Amino acid sequence: MRVAAAAYPMDFLESWRAYEEKLTRWVSEAAGAGADLLVFPEYGAMELATLAGRDVALDLEASLRAVSDRIAEADALHAKLAKEFGVYILAASAPVFDPELGERPVNRARILAPDGSMDHQDKQIMTRFEREEWNVVAGGPLHMFDTALGRIGILICYDSEFPLLGRAMADADLILVPSCTEALTGYSRVRIGAMARALENQCVTIMSSTVGACDWSEAVDMNTGMGGIFGPPDTGFPATGVIAEGTLNQPGWTYADVDLAQIAHVRADGVVLNRKHWDDQTGRDVIAAARKLG
């Protein structure tokens, strides 16, 4: 299969039609390059707040609600494009007010199949900004999605930095890591997390990023990142673990070809067997006892 990771610039949208045209252009380009799976970034849907005007987009709380109000419409567009182009799409995540989960929004990424069907993954652990400024809360549990492309898991941005969440995805062939980071430090943390998850699970991780400046938002005003596809630095994979990587802050797709047989082989007979040997930790005293030296 061919996978595509977005470095996605958010725009001030003059109309819904402008959004339709933009998304169609992005999906068409990736599908035209042979991609089977398209991964858009975390909070890339925040550009939908601009449809309510600059004042709303600049207001943190108002922007959350404005985006959430548009998600059903955005999902219908993604479903249409997934079916038209015959691709799987991880839509850019968005704040969603889900009455089943409480009064505050969750950070939700939706995944759409070529037949137009859809499911979703909510972020598990909130960053300080999400907790302290937006009051975005953790959503529903982790899921694994069985697809024609293999078993897919999703760890949204900060979630990728936590190994126990990653371990819950131990049976995933692909882990999607949509991200939104302001500075190079944040991008680096998520990239390291994505690479660590590929190492310990001996799988492929696909990281997408928002890029560029958005003077219409306090929340996503600056964005640093690029697309990246990572694997274990082991048999059949690049020695660096980097299968493909874009150029920092340059909008566009990063592509890579992924072979499920290669993932199965390294899990069964790699130089090391991180995934298999994970449980070797549990029989040991893993809390370091303090000892005096000197």
Q: What is the mean pLDDT of residues 177-192?
A: 98
Structure confidence at residue 284 (pLDDT): 66
Nearest residue to 74 (alpha-carbon basis) of 7, 36, 20? 20
Q: What is the mean pLDDT of residues 191-215?
A: 98
Structure confidence at residue 286 (pLDDT): 62
Domain boundaries, the chain: 2-281
Residue 282 has pLDDT above 90, yes or no: no
pLDDT tens digits, one per residue of 232-277: 999 999 999 999 999 999 999 999 999 999 999 999 999 999 999 9
Label residue 66 by pLDDT band (50, 70, 90): very high
CATH number for the region 2-281 comes to 3.60.110.10
pLDDT tens digits, one per residue of 209-243: 999 999 999 999 999 999 999 999 999 999 999 99
Long-range contacts of 76-81 (CB under 8 A, 24+ apart): 77/19, 77/20, 77/23, 78/23, 78/110, 78/112, 78/118, 79/112, 79/116, 79/117, 79/118, 80/116, 81/23, 81/24, 81/27
Element at 167 (helix H, strand E)? helix 163-167
Structure confidence at residue 285 (pLDDT): 66
Q: Is 29 exposed, middle or buried (0-12, 13-18, 19+ CB in 10 A)?
A: middle
Structure confidence at residue 281 (pLDDT): 84
Q: What is the mean pLDDT of residues 80-108?
A: 97
Structure confidence at residue 294 (pLDDT): 80
Residue 290 has pLDDT above 90, yes or no: no
How does the average pLDDT of the chain come out, rounded? 96
Alpha-carbon span 128 to 134, nearest angstrom: 9
Label residue 293 by pLDDT band (50, 70, 90): confident
The DSSP letter of residue 137 is B
Alpha-carbon span 58 to 61, nearest angstrom: 9
Amino acid identity of residue 223, one-letter, is: N
Specify the 3-state DSSP secondary structure of 87. Answer: coil
Please give the share of the chain, as a percent, with pLDDT higher than 70: 97
